[in-house]
Structure 1
Amino acid sequence: MRGNNPHFSRSTVHHELIAGHHLQGYMESRYKTYRNFQTPFWIEGWALYWEMLLWDMQFPQSPEDRIGMLFWRMHRCARIIFSLNYHLGKWTPQECIDFLVDRVGHERANAEGEVRRSFVGGYSPLYQIAYMIGGLQFYALQRDLVGPGKWTMKQFHDAVLHENNIPVEMLRAILTQQPLKKDFKTNWRFYKLK
């Protein structure tokens, strides 16, 4: 329980349940079910987007809850580092475990479970980066549509969930009513260039 204390678990609850994966699954079984496509950028991005949004809404009330949410954000970034290093042949599973213990602060048993899950769970090499990139894409899309007052938060979230599991840029094209041609090429920059 040291690695899954209540303060660390509070942000995970929203990632896994409402408004995260459980709500996603519920809505995907009801809207545009003909879409037979899956991308971790949609699946994990949506759940991480809610973690970021709840942070912005000052959901964590206590310092301990804030530390818990920041721990999971750091953990998601660390997943990118160890997963890419492993898949590029630079790190062994033991080096990945040591990285999570030494740099992120995981309990060793939790780090071992995390690394085992990442490499024997059937995840693609880019799965771990999909959390952060997908989350940032949803965050930017919400900023572009809700920020200037074009949509309410409810309108935005309902529209996203009614489209079902598709690449976030395709979702953006649909929500902003861009024409989608057969030779559509990606060009959205959801991040700010300096």
Structure 2
Amino acid sequence: MKSEQFERAIALIDAANAEDPNVEYSDGQAVPKELLYGQRMSVCLAGFRPDAGEALQLAARAQHVRRWQVPRADYPATREGYHRWRTYLYGFHADQAEALLRQAGVDDETVQAVRRMVGKQGLRKEPDVQVIEDVACLVFLEHYFPAFAQARDEAQLIDIVRKTWRKMSDAARARALKMKLPDDLAVLVGKALAA
């Protein structure tokens, strides 16, 4: 049974993400982009780790909280610019999540755990941080990779698949291999993993 503070925190995260002026279409409905992303993270986590505790569930939902406030375009269109943007976002999302969780009355231990997960502290060392990374990769492959692939050539996509694969645990890789991707992307994933 979920705690009252957990339910309040989820509602606050969703309300924050519902402010996203960018929309994405899901089942024919326009939905604020980061609200939809948070919901997809929660659904994926429930399938990947049905035993996930409240801290993991909160971190998944808050993974991109208020991301639109830090546009990629504010950073140089270079690899270094991309890394600076991503690194900044880790702290930004952790701060945003903490403020919302504290507003919801979530206990300090859970707040700090969510901060670590959303902030990617201890990635590849801390199991819960790795779960959030796994779920983010799975959500990308399932929901965003097809559209992402349209603007890139095969060599770029193979490189992106390899980089994504390196971030994932063995359990997430096994789950990814069971995904139904469009045929052309499934072939491309096969090429990326064969090399």
TM-score (norm 2): 0.30
Q: Which has the higher contact order (CA 8 A, sep 6+)?
A: 1
Relative to its length, the structure with more strand (as a share) is 2
Relative to its length, the structure with more helix (as a share) is 2
